[in-house]
Amino acid sequence: MKPLIAIVGRPNVGKSTLFNRIVGNRISIVEDTPGVTRDRIYADAEWCGRAFTLIDTGGLELKSEDEMWTHIRAQAQIAVDSADAILYVVDGKTGLTTDDSLVCSFLRKSGLPVVLAVNKIDNAYMDSVYDFYALGFGEPYAVSAEQGKGIGDLLDALMEVVPSAPVEEDPDRIKIAIVGKPNAGKSSIANRLLGYDRSIVSDIAGTTRDAVDTYLDVGDDKFLIIDTAGMRKKKAVDENVERYSVMRSILAIRRADAVLIVCDAGEGLTEQDVKIAGLVHEEGKPSVIVMNKWDLVEKDSYTVNMFEKKLREDLKYMDYFRSVYVSAKSGKRLDCLLPLIKEVVAESRKRIPTGLLNEVLGEATRISEPPSYLGRRLKIYFVTQASVCPPTFVLKVNDTALMHFSYKRYLENAIRKSFGFSGTPIRLLVRPNGGEEN
């Protein structure tokens, strides 16, 4: 798992600007209004071959009892609790304040290494940097997030205090994250797969508070089962511990090779189930929809077809999914899960030769001509597979603006029809011939 670095500081010191500068994208909203960043924002970054995850937090107003600032403090506390190191940002133009000292006391309680960044520094404010030695966090690093100055030295310092990447896990061991709403039966399924009670099982929603890893060997097949906390609707997440648990579930999805999305068949597919599936889709992970508690559903010969139709309607953005109807209580059909996982993981790792890809897309463009606009027609020069997990294809075209989303979907379907990719998302990147990605 990549090291986590939390960015912390008072409002309006430029944390989000520094966050965006480090990750290389405009992910956080940057304004001069305090409190714009309220919830935690995560992004992966890399420096000198070292990968890490950066967490942007809201500005800390420790003296205010206003509800919004209380919420921001809670979010920042969760980020600090989960982090391996802290990037503490202060304002070099404003200089050292009593509020900075309050934030220092807050950070010292964590016991984590802290790297101090003095932001908004140009030649006129260099002398103010030395005042921040008084905070007791060692050398203050002068930076200008807006201009990109001093970022390299700051990142070098951070890499010295965060743990090195862990030893690579066995690449042949398939990592399976089990996710879903509270009380859908995730832990029961994990225990059934493992053959013993590794996780506590209870009818009380929220029994599992953290992601639990367990190794499972079945013949020559090796798996790592990651049981996660239930993911509630955002407005229902009140406890700080549970917010932390949901964050760990999201990190488990990112870490997994495949995901079991567990739903309660008695309730049917809910709005929260659809949101969780969407999160798995956005992370590019192959998945299996597991309709659990199937033994509690009154059935006739049409019931499965009705459930499948509902899944197709609500999950039309990820119509590649595989589904299975099980009962963790009785063990019915649970023997299907691991073979299905192996299938979707194999699909996500599949590579298609460039020549064969171009034959298929050439035939697809002959059957349905590419779109045109104002007399100019889209031309697809060639396609190649750039990567796997998820399978990602690059299309070189004459003008990316001519690629309509419906035609892009048509090409995706043509690729799936010829090569499968069942159970896994695929990505189509459209680039001008010799130009930038769109």
The least confident of 198-212, 225-239, 245-259, 400-414 is 198-212
Give the confidence band of 187 by pLDDT, cuts at 50, 70, 90: confident
Mean pLDDT confidence for 314-321: 92
Task: Find all residues with CB under 8 Å of 187, minimum gap 6, and list them.
Answer: 199, 200, 201, 207, 208, 227
pLDDT at 236 over 50: no
Fold entry, domain 4-161: Rossmann fold (3.40.50)
Chain segment 128-178, per-residue pLDDT in tens: 888 899 999 999 999 999 888 999 999 999 999 987 755 456 778 899 999
The least confident of 24-33, 37-46, 49-58, 389-398 is 24-33
Please state, in angstroms and rounded to a whole number, the distance separating the CA atoms of residues 206 and 220. 34
pLDDT at 432 over 90: yes
pLDDT at 265 over 60: yes
Percent of the chain's residues with pLDDT above 90? 48
- pLDDT value at residue 375: 87
Sheet containing strand 114-119, edge to edge, reads 41-47, 50-56, 4-9, 85-91, 114-119, 140-142
The least confident of 122-126, 196-200, 309-313, 399-403 is 196-200
Chain segment 333-377, per-residue pLDDT in tens: 999 999 999 999 999 999 999 999 999 999 999 999 999 988 899
Average pLDDT, the chain: 83
Q: List the chain domain ranges.
A: 4-161, 173-348, 354-432
CATH number of 173-348: 3.40.50.300
Give the confidence band of 36 by pLDDT, cuts at 50, 70, 90: very low
Q: Greater confidence, 66 or 102?
A: 102
- pLDDT value at residue 67: 66
Fold entry, domain 354-432: GMP Synthetase; Chain A, domain 3 (3.30.300)
Question: Amino acid identity of 44?
Answer: D
Same fold, 4-161 and 173-348: yes
pLDDT at 33 over 80: no
Mean pLDDT confidence for 87-110: 89
Give the confidence band of 199 by pLDDT, cuts at 50, 70, 90: very low
pLDDT at 70 over 80: no
Pair 377, 402: CB distance under 8 Å: yes
